[in-house]
Chain A
């Protein structure tokens, strides 16, 4: 069965520091992978996606993620975090069945120290 694991429930970084949020997936074939961000009281905004091709994908707000098939990972990175990046981040895999539903990880809450 498809699943997504985000091992870090909370991460705290200082403003200006680099960030890496971990995501591991379980899927038989090449997955469709996504990162979404949810600010408090808001909906889910797509940061970036991976379907195929270049394993390093660029997204909005200066985020990038790297697909590593050998490690079943799709970690999200940002070189310099801003206070406005404080939010919850969800990794998701797209199911390759009749629904193409998204299967989400449990999320990582990012706190940014001034």
Chain B
């Protein structure tokens, strides 16, 4: 069964450093998402991406964040200058459609630890 994959599974970085989290969505999917989950808290939406552009972003997704689909298969989330509060589990998701039938499939997540 096709699945969303994410690398790395765990990333440790120092405050102020740039990180890139990588995702490979399911191959025929068109809609892509990043969510994050701070330890012990709910899963929060960060950004949605379709047709090579952001369709919506949350308040969390400030100028320090960016997303890219560089080669038609990968979907990346970049944090330019990490802060301690960026420590969280980051989930990538993809869907073939939106609305009915547009269920989102989640990757296993990347745990980001900022020290």
Give the one of B4, B93, B104, B109 with max A CB within 10 A. Answer: B104
Q: Which of B35, B45, B101 has the most CB of A within 10 A?
A: B45
A97 partner, pick from B31, B56, B105, beta carbons under 8 A: B56
Q: Looking at the complex, which one of A44, A96, A101, A106 makes contact with B106 (CB distance below 8 Å)?
A: A44
Contact A102 B42 (CB under 8 A): no
Cβ-based interface call for B75 (8 A): no
Residue-wise interface mask of B (78-108) relative to A, using a CB-CB cutoff of 8 A (1 in contact, 0 not): 0000000000000101010011111111111
Q: Which residue of B lies closest to A6 (CB)?
A: B42
A interface bracket (residues with beta carbon within 8 Å of B): 20 to 34
Q: In the complex, are the beta carbons of B56 and A99 less than 8 A apart?
A: yes
The answer to whether B91 and A43 touch across the interface, beta carbons within 8 angstroms, is yes
> Chain A residues near B45 (CB, 8 Å)?
99, 101-103
State how many residues of chain B have any CB contact under 8 Å with chain A. Answer: 27
Pairwise interchain contact B107-A43, C-beta atoms closer than 8 A: yes
B43 touches A100 (CB 8 A): no
Establish whether residues B55 and A43, one from each chain, have CB atoms under 8 Å apart when the complex forms.
no
B97 to chain A, nearest CB (A): 9
Contact of B42 among A43, A98, A106 (CB under 8 A): A106
Q: Is the CB of B99 within 8 A of A98?
A: no
What are the interface flags for A94-114 relative to B under an 8 Å C-beta threshold, 1 for contact and 0 otherwise?
101111111111110000000
The chain B residue sitting closest to A45, CB to CB, is B106
CA A51 – CA B101 in complex, angstroms?
8
A101 interface neighbour in B4, B48, B109, Cβ under 8 Å = B48
B residues near A107, Cβ cutoff 8 Å: 42
B108 touching A42 by the CB < 8 A rule?
A: yes
**Which of chain A's residues 16-36 have a Cβ closer than 8 Å to chain B?**
32, 34, 36
Sorted nearest first, the 6 A-B pairs with minimum C-beta distance are: A99-B56, A99-B48, A44-B106, A43-B108, A100-B98, A101-B45
